[in-house]
Structure 1
Amino acid sequence: KEAAAVLHKFYARWNKAYSHVIKGLREIEPDLLVFYNYPKQIRASIYSTNMIESFNNVIKRKAKPKAEFPTEQSLDVFIGIQAMSYNDRYFNRIHKGFGQVQDTLESYFE
């Protein structure tokens, strides 16, 4: 509720100058603050892009020696294999905060 209040204050302050942007924000507002529905211990992990950036770096590093892929399908296969390998490598890893709230998260999906 507090974050929504701050967001609405932001709308009021900047709507005149940036009405198009504010209109876009209003359209996505239900999804914009959804991470506040989750426990505090994992919020930073949810809105952080560190895991995505890490995976992108793996793809770039492994694709660089290949220089060029003959077809788009070969690139798709390569990225798929890299994603499966990355998942296998980090399968048992518990991201920061998730171990503390595992029971709560599991109850969300029952």
Structure 2
Amino acid sequence: MVQIFGTAKSPGTMKALRFFKERGIKPQFVDLQRRAMAPGEIARFVQKFGLSALIDTGSKSYERLAYLRLSDEALIQRLLDEPQLMVQPLLRLGATLTIGWDEAVWRNWYQHQRRVG
């Protein structure tokens, strides 16, 4: 199963949804504007990539944080509360996790699924 975490306003998220739909895969889309990620779910991404990799340093939300010094826990909570601060999309492809646009990994996953499925 493909899970895509992002917002409907994120171009990267929309491209990811289109990528899988074009290949006949109906991903589960979790709109982070409507429902926050579970703490355990975001923890998987933080564990794999590190907290700083999840932060969209080009976002307006990040600019507003520039003067704040936050603990990791407070920053994770801020990511959950303000999804536009997060790099999007976040994808879970079974046990594989990706952040941002990562077409090469998605293609490899898709080709592997076609061979075994």
With the length of structure 2 as denominator, give the TM-score of the two structures: 0.24
Larger radius of gyration: 1
Higher strand share: 2
Higher helix share: 1
